[in-house]
Amino acid sequence: MASSDTNAEPHVRGATRHTPWEDAQAFALGCSLCALGVVLLQSAGLITGQTAGLGVLLSYATPYGFAFWFFVLNLPFYVLGWIRMGPRFVAKTAIAVTVVSVATPLLDAVMDVSFLSPWVASALAGAVIGMGLIAIFRHGASLGGVGILALWMQERFGIQAGWVQLGFDAILFAAAFAVLDPLLVAASLLGAVVVNLVIAVNHRRDRYVGR
């Protein structure tokens, strides 16, 4: 996570870095939760917010799947991450993005959701994705894309990451009306709101700073 001098992680008096083992278990949990959320959304024909949401939307509109789009869309944002957040943050983020890209199709292959209400799918997916992102954020990483920009703006200007992402989501969902049924877009919006509320309420610099 960036500080005002653009270091990857803020200095906290008396704080110690997470160990590699702690990072590994957090990434495993956080990435698995995010991948599960994407599978739930796709099973109901929904999208989510941020770069992941754009990847899901493009997977519906093109022959390429979510894993391809999510990985490719994140590549340009690594440049901003390297400049503003530092190489440690970018390395962790690249690992998290890769794990989610791999875990999503793997989970989809071993799960068969025969019926799931779009509204229930959206709310559940929003909750698990939000908690997964918090686990990743608190260990000095993100899932790339808008998350990098949002975390940098939170540390630099004090704007909560959740609200930055909500602005991007508004544009994404407006575009979704060209691809999805309006009812599915409305249901998807519920999940995006849940994600951002979970992050805005629970990921605050004055309460917890991951290193």
pLDDT at 115: 81
Q: What is the pLDDT of residues 195-209, one digit of tens each?
A: 878 887 876 665 555
Domain total in the chain: 1
pLDDT at 1: 29
pLDDT at 15: 57
Considering the domain boundaries, does residue 2 fall inside one?
Answer: no
**Which of 20-24, 55-59, 73-77 is predicted most confidently?**
55-59
Considering the domain boundaries, does residue 207 fall inside one?
Answer: no
pLDDT at 161: 72
Considering the domain boundaries, does residue 87 fall inside one?
Answer: yes
Mean pLDDT, the chain, whole residue set: 81
Considering the domain boundaries, does residue 13 fall inside one?
Answer: no
Considering the domain boundaries, does residue 4 fall inside one?
Answer: no
Considering the domain boundaries, does residue 51 fall inside one?
Answer: yes
| Domain that includes residue 194, residue range | 20-202
Considering the domain boundaries, does residue 10 fall inside one?
Answer: no
Tell me which of 82 and 205 has the higher pLDDT: 82
pLDDT at 4: 32
Residue 86 binned pLDDT confidence (cut-offs 50, 70, 90): confident
Q: What percent of the chain has pLDDT over 90?
A: 32
Q: What is the pLDDT of residues 143-178, one digit of tens each?
A: 877 877 777 777 778 888 767 777 887 888 899 998
Among the listed residues 105, 166, 156, 100, the one whose alpha carbon sits nearest the alpha carbon of residue 132: 100
Q: Are 165 and 147 in contact (CB under 8 A)?
A: yes
CA distance linking residue 38 with residue 99, whole number of Å: 13
Spell 34-46 as b/e; 16+ CB within 10 A means b.
bbbbbbbbbbbeb
Q: Are 66 and 56 in contact (CB under 8 A)?
A: yes
